[in-house]
Structures are given as C-alpha cells and as structure tokens.
Amino acid sequence: MTAPLTFSPEVAEARRSGAPLVALESTIITHGMPFPQNVETARAVEASVRAAGAVPATIAVMAGRIHVGLTGDELQVLGQAIGVMKLSRADLAVCLASGRTGATTVAATMIAARLAGIEVFATGGIGGVHRGAETSFDISADLQELAATPVTVVCAGAKAILDLPKTLEVLETLGVPVIAFGQDDLPAFWSRSSGLPAPLRMDSAADIATAHRMRGRLGLPGGQLVANPIPVEAEIPRDVMIPFIEAALAEAAAQGIQAKKVTPFLLDRLFHLTAGRSLTANIALVLNNARLAAAIASSLAAPGPG
Ligand code: PSU
Ligand code: MN
C-alpha cells in the first residue's frame, strides 16, 4: 500500500514532463493569515512560482487524501473552512484516517513533498524554539523534520517571536544547514537582519541546488534551510517590531495560550498591533521565497548539479 496522494492536473502534468516543482504549505493559509488575504496570497504565491519557471504544488489534506496541488476551487474552500486541523508529523496519519480536513505545517509539507518526489519547498517562516522553552519545552517539530527529510526549505528566517539563538543551537545539534541567502546575517522574517550571524551563506540558487545534491551523494538524511531576507522595501526594521512582539507575547502569556495555538495567536495579535503591516510584510516575503525556491528547483531539474 502506498501513500494516499492526489495530484492536481497541473502537478500531474509537471511530473510527467519533468518540470521543476515547488511545494507550498497550507497552514499559512488556514492559521497564518486572515481571509480573504490568505487565499489571495496563496494564489499570488502560486503565480510567482509559475512566473519564475516552475510549477507550484500547494499541499493539504482533504477527505482522506494528501492533495499535492490544489485547484482554484479547493484553495477557496480551504481558505474559508472552519475547524481545519493544523498538521505536523504527529497528526498527519490521524487526519487522513479520520477523513478530516487538515492544513500542513512545514514539517507535514516536507513529508508530503518527499512522498511526491518534490525537493524544494517555499514558506514564510519555520517554527522554532519558543521563548521560555526551557520551561515550556515548546520546540517546533519543524526542526526535527529538517533533520530527517531531504527537502530544501526556503523561508525568510525564523520569526522574531521565537528564541532565535536557541533555534540556531537546536538546528546545529540536529545537523541542519542554515544558509543565509546573499548576506552574512540570519534574516528574521519581517526584518532583514536578526543581529545574529548565519552559520552558512550562499549567493546563488545554483549553488544551493548543488549543495542539495551533494547531501544526497554523501548519504546524509535531512534537508537544508535557506533563509532569504525579506525585500528591502517591504521590511519592518527590528527595532520597530520588537515592542509589538513583546506585547503579543505578554498577551499570550496572560491568556495561557499553549502548544499549537501559540504561533497562530501571535501572528493574529501582531496583525492587529501593527495595523496590518505585519501581514503586508509577510505576503512580500513569501512571494520572494517562492521566486528563489523556483530558481533552486529549476537548477535541480537542469542537467548538471551534482
Ligand atoms: N510561518 C508563517 N505563517 C505560519 C507558519 C509559519 O509565516 O502560519 C506556520 C508554519 O506552517 C509552521 C508553523 O510550520 O507555523 C509552526 O507552528 P508551530 O510553532 O506550532 O510548530
Ligand atoms: Mn509548538
């Protein structure tokens, strides 16, 4: 028995012709952005992958199947659905077995991408080590997945709502390459710089594709994390974001928000605290990541790397 995968017509055709594919997650749609900007963004991200010469595969679970590539109607339904599960590695099989609808996080999208033979994935920010993790133990399963599943994930760094130094330490322990794209500093999602040096730096999509292939040649499990800074014109500087982040974290603590609810709660509070500016930045950075992921996927599909 094989995994219950359903390919959209566009993705099925790309697989037949060997066109470069880029996986996209769906938690950002259902739990990361409000309707209707979530659906508009998902469509724009897909368009940006296509414009850069690759085929987008947005991944979600519906009616007992992992859908790899969503039709326009499916995207519209998912973007407004109530009670959608937030799926990480732990939840995927239960959601499929019970026939519920689920949105895939970075971890679950990586698992589905690997099953579908897709090697590159674009998202906004990954989950990481939350502040206070020394008592809450809240460390996103995204980090373990990067250590286990051979997909190159393009993000805009980790969100500054997290504890970034601890996130880097855990990634180092897990043997995950954290590669800043085109700069020395680790980007911090809404801001181009976290103030922390990134462990690794690469300056071209072709080099990142070659490193991806090299891991395969070395027999190393796990993926690569590419941290692509948000475009200059869209960034919210760190000193502007920090007071909003502190306020959102204080609200989460006061309301006892825990586990899977933490990230969606903080994103929603920041949307309100920044009067929508955090969302505008979030959209810009995802589009930017989609373009870089498409370039990496195109390099991988071209004869040569590795
Ligand atoms: N980045 C965003 N918006 C999101 C997420 C990341 O810009 O909604 C989602 C991703 O799906 C990521 C998840 O995998 O949040 C992490 O959740 P947690 O911290 O509960 O592991
Ligand atoms: Mn968590």
How confident is the model over 255-300, as pLDDT tens digits? 999 989 999 999 999 999 999 999 999 999 999 999 999 999 999 9
Ligand 1 binding pocket (C-beta < 6 A) is 25, 27-28, 31-32, 105-106, 123-127, 140-142, 260, 263, 267, 282
Domains identified in the chain and CATH numbers: 5-301 (3.40.1790.10)
Q: Which of 210, 13, 218, 4 is nearest to 119 (CA)?
A: 210
Average pLDDT value for residue range 142-160 = 95
How confident is the model over 92-141, as pLDDT tens digits? 999 999 999 999 999 999 999 999 999 999 999 999 999 999 999 999 99
Q: What SS3 state is found at 224?
A: strand
Whether the predicted pLDDT of 306 surpasses 80: no
Q: Which ligand is nearest to the CA of 266?
A: 1
Q: Which of 137, 115, 112 is nearest to 123 (CA)?
A: 112
Average pLDDT value for residue range 155-171 = 94
Distance 254 CA to ligand 2 centre (A): 17
Q: What is the structure's pLDDT at 120?
A: 98
The C-alpha angle 183, 222, 201, rounded to 5 degrees, equals: 10
Whether the predicted pLDDT of 305 surpasses 70: no
How confident is the model over 61-90, as pLDDT tens digits? 999 999 999 999 999 999 999 999 999 999
Q: Which ligand is nearest to the CA of 128?
A: 1
Distance 267 CA to ligand 1 centre (A): 9
